Chain A
Amino acid sequence: MALPQAAAFLAASLTLAASGALALAEPLVASSAPSGLSGPPTVVSPPKTVSSGSEALDVSLSPECRVPGSQLYSLARLGAVKLALKEKRAVRVLTIGGSSAGLGAATTYPVKLETALERSLPDVDVVVESRGMQGEIASGAAERLRNMVAEVEPDLVIWQVGTHDALARVDVEVFATALAETVQWIKSHEIDVVLVNPVYTASLAADEYYNSLVRTVQDVASREGVPLVQRYEAMRYLSGLGQKGEGHLLGSQFRLNELGMRCMAEHVTRAITLSLLQTDPGAPAPAMAPPRDAAVKAASPPPSIFVRPGD
């Protein structure tokens, strides 16, 4: 059967149905040349170096990614990674979800993350495995995550979570329960978790549902005592900085998204290194058992090591 013609016929009308009066030619051209082409004038005009407004920027981050710490992460103890450091073995990291690729071969997110982590944890071998993920945690994806964890056997799972559930408009309560269960499950196997919440974009800024889903990730992270990288807050902060809009077909939101992706490895690394410096004072760490900190302190990196990617 002559399928492609039939498919093309139906799908052409379908594209129109899905996206309104969409001028087909332009977006196709645009999508083949996405903002990943690192043209020099693209992104954000370099912000002031030290402090903007009330709160100090985290200057350990590269200039375009600088965000005040409070808007970037919430910290919590990472027992399993500390243990790996103490035992002087390689730290195995599994990153899950989202677009794992970055700007071409050498700089994909997992590669950048591995580089950034190794820079900030001198003499530590970090092995990053990354997995794309399809599906919603509220349905099959939680199960798939368990299988991935069983396969990779990591010390730390960095989980970009919520995007697919948001796209499927999964009930927020159901999402919260499934996320909490999965986080508890990972922790029950003495594996650390860092959550990364979904992106900020202007067209969803007023979307009540989307905001409550982002808040849910935050709530679950604080309830379960795991670090959170607030990609949403960080990108919202970055979006407030002056941008040179040069009338590209991809609006400023796409350039912001690109910047968010580029900064993510740094932001995640920052949250992890700072979390590693956490002793456990008030933070109840229920599943994590014995006090390892006395010994760990010697092995753990000094606070002066900062991420300084020059690229």
Chain B
Amino acid sequence: MREPNAIDFWRGLALVTIFINHIPGNTFERYTYSQYGISDAAELFVFLAGWSIGIATRGRDGRPEPRLKTVLRLLSRTIEVYRAQLTIMTLALAIIAGTALVLDNPLLLEWHNAGGFFADPIQTVVGFVLLTHQLGFFNILPLYVVLIGIAPVFVLLARVSRVAALALSFGLYATSLVFEWNLPSWPGEGDWFFDPLCWQLLLVLGFVGEDLNRRSPWLRSWAQRLVPLGIAIVATGVILAVYDIRPDPVLAPEPRLFFTFDKTYLTPARLIHFVGVLLAFQTLYGVLAPRLGPVTGYLASLGRNSLAVFSIGSLLSLAGQLIRFRAGGGVLVDVSVVGSGLIALGFTAWFVEWRSRKPRPSSPQA
């Protein structure tokens, strides 16, 4: 297993934040950084995914691996994520239905878009495998499937010209904002909760950022000089979030999405805030890592196994919501729900690594 590093550490923190934020109403929610800014852990997660692609598609010497290998690697990852999404959605629906039956409480069937599935399974099961029917809080992996699916285009293009890859990505982002392009939900109306056509920009920024960060001392020194700017942006974000200041989307001039705070479309305000977060906290890992002791190792282990941890975390959040609902909330319930969840996330990471260390029998004897 690789040693703790900044990427795994921050990704681990994003996973913990997402886990806690996906149990709405719980006491610890207000202590996550998502409450104090315009952007949240989702941005960090997608950006770091792009950064990781940059690392994964190069050898240790920084030379890019063969193109076909990159394409196959990303394809295989896409399938892995897709499979994970189907698995956790199935389990989530069963957990919701099972709990509704046991508690004799059909209200639970209306849980964040699940109602569509239970009311109209014939159409919805098709939407389910097409990823166009998404449960609330289970909509990040569909975004991932699309992003990693289209990543080869950007990765290979960036090998020819980073500028071209960035231009393509920015162009798609800006056009989607102007024309409000998004992938449709089906059955039912509306669009995806995370618009892949906009969010791809963060993945590409992460990927290109990793490349530049490695080879350009000029960029590194500028990034360090911009720390004060980052801090100013973060401070502004805190003020806007705490005082609930945001533009009225109905009054926003056209093209509307350039001016609103909209998570679906990763609108510019969120993007700028996220870049501010990056600038402000870029060197923080070096300061924190030695001082946090085992916490560093814990978060990094989550980050190393992000797909498994995210998947289990999603199900644990759902279970946490149902337990809170049943038990009526309260600090004691929240401490036990969140506490046991964090232990379970750590166990998941450990378990996945234990399994990969364990030699498997060469011939299956079943």
Binding site for B on A (CB under 8 A): 1-4, 6-8, 10-11, 14-15, 17-20, 22, 24, 27-28, 30-32, 34, 36, 98-105, 108, 110, 129-132, 134-136, 138-140, 143-144, 146-147, 149-151, 153, 163-164, 166-170, 185, 189, 198-199, 201-204, 209, 249-251, 253-254, 256-257, 261
Among B88, B193, B325, point to the contact of A169 (Cβ < 8 A): B325
Residue numbers in A under 8 Å from B307 (CB-CB): 1, 3
Contact B91 A1 (CB under 8 A): no
B305 within 8 A of partner (CB)? yes
Contact B112 A135 (CB under 8 A): yes
Complex alpha-carbon distance, A201 and B250, angstroms = 37
Among A22, A132, A189, point to the contact of B190 (Cβ < 8 A): A132
Contact A149 B249 (CB under 8 A): yes
Residue numbers in B under 8 Å from A143 (CB-CB): 246, 261
Complex alpha-carbon distance, A132 and B191, angstroms = 10
Most buried by B among A19, A32, A130, A253: A19
Query: In chain B, residues 71-112, which have Cβ atoms closer than 8 Å to a Cβ of chain A?
Result: 80, 83-84, 87-88, 91, 93-95, 97-112
Q: Chain A: which residue is nearest B91 at the CB level?
A: A11
Contact A6 B111 (CB under 8 A): no
Complex alpha-carbon distance, A201 and B115, angstroms = 16
Q: Chain A: which residue is nearest B114 at the CB level?
A: A99
Contact A17 B319 (CB under 8 A): yes
A-B contact count (CB 8 A): 237
- Say yes or no: A167-B116 contact (C-beta < 8 A), given A22-B102, A104-B122, A149-B250: no
Residue numbers in A under 8 Å from B111 (CB-CB): 164, 167
- Say yes or no: A167-B101 contact (C-beta < 8 A), given A10-B315, A98-B115, A143-B246: no
Query: In chain B, residues 118-171, which have Cβ atoms closer than 8 Å to a Cβ of chain A?
Result: 118-124, 135-137, 139
Among B119, B185, B260, B311, point to the contact of A34 (Cβ < 8 A): B119
Contact A199 B308 (CB under 8 A): no
Chief secondary structure at chain B's binding surface:
helix
Complex alpha-carbon distance, A17 and B316, angstroms = 10
Most buried by A among B114, B188, B246, B260: B188
- Say yes or no: A31-B102 contact (C-beta < 8 A), given A1-B352, A7-B87, A199-B107: no
Complex alpha-carbon distance, A15 and B329, angstroms = 19
The minimal Cβ–Cβ distance linking B13 to chain A, given in whole angstroms, is: 20
Contact B113 A7 (CB under 8 A): no
Complex alpha-carbon distance, A18 and B101, angstroms = 12
B211 within 8 A of partner (CB)? no
Question: 30 A-B Cβ contacts within 8 A?
Answer: A1-B356, A3-B80, A3-B352, A4-B83, A6-B312, A6-B352, A8-B87, A14-B91, A14-B319, A15-B98, A19-B99, A22-B99, A22-B101, A24-B98, A27-B94, A31-B101, A101-B119, A134-B135, A134-B139, A147-B249, A147-B260, A149-B250, A151-B180, A164-B24, A169-B328, A170-B25, A185-B248, A254-B100, A254-B106, A257-B107
Q: Chain B: which residue is nearest A15 at the CB level?
A: B95
Contact A147 B264 (CB under 8 A): yes
Contact A146 B250 (CB under 8 A): yes
Contact A11 B324 (CB under 8 A): no
Complex alpha-carbon distance, A80 and B190, angstroms = 23
Among A24, A36, A199, A253, point to the contact of B104 (Cβ < 8 A): A253
Which size bracket describes the interface of B in this complex? 35 or more
Residue numbers in B under 8 Å from A1 (CB-CB): 80, 305, 307-308, 352, 355-356
Contact B249 A132 (CB under 8 A): no
Contact B352 A251 (CB under 8 A): no
Contact A18 B99 (CB under 8 A): yes
By Cβ-Cβ distance, the 5 closest A-B pairs, closest first, are A99-B115, A134-B136, A31-B97, A150-B249, A257-B106
B57 within 8 A of partner (CB)? no
Complex alpha-carbon distance, A8 and B248, angstroms = 44
Contact B352 A101 (CB under 8 A): no
Contact A203 B250 (CB under 8 A): no
Contact A203 B116 (CB under 8 A): no
- Say yes or no: A30-B319 contact (C-beta < 8 A), given A3-B87, A7-B88: no
Contact A201 B137 (CB under 8 A): no
- Say yes or no: A6-B121 contact (C-beta < 8 A), given A168-B324, A199-B107: no
Contact A189 B250 (CB under 8 A): yes
Complex alpha-carbon distance, A151 and B105, angstroms = 34
Among B114, B116, B260, B308, point to the contact of A6 (Cβ < 8 A): B308
Most buried by A among B111, B118, B324: B118
Residue numbers in B under 8 Å from A149 (CB-CB): 249-250
B262 within 8 A of partner (CB)? yes
Contact A15 B91 (CB under 8 A): yes
The minimal Cβ–Cβ distance linking B265 to chain A, given in whole angstroms, is: 9
Among B120, B190, B264, B308, point to the contact of A104 (Cβ < 8 A): B120
Complex alpha-carbon distance, A108 and B323, angstroms = 31
Contact B190 A199 (CB under 8 A): no
Contact B110 A99 (CB under 8 A): yes
The minimal Cβ–Cβ distance linking A292 to chain B, given in whole angstroms, is: 21
Contact A167 B328 (CB under 8 A): no
Residue numbers in B under 8 Å from A6 (CB-CB): 308, 312, 348, 351-352, 355
Residue numbers in A under 8 Å from B278 (CB-CB): none
Contact A201 B355 (CB under 8 A): no
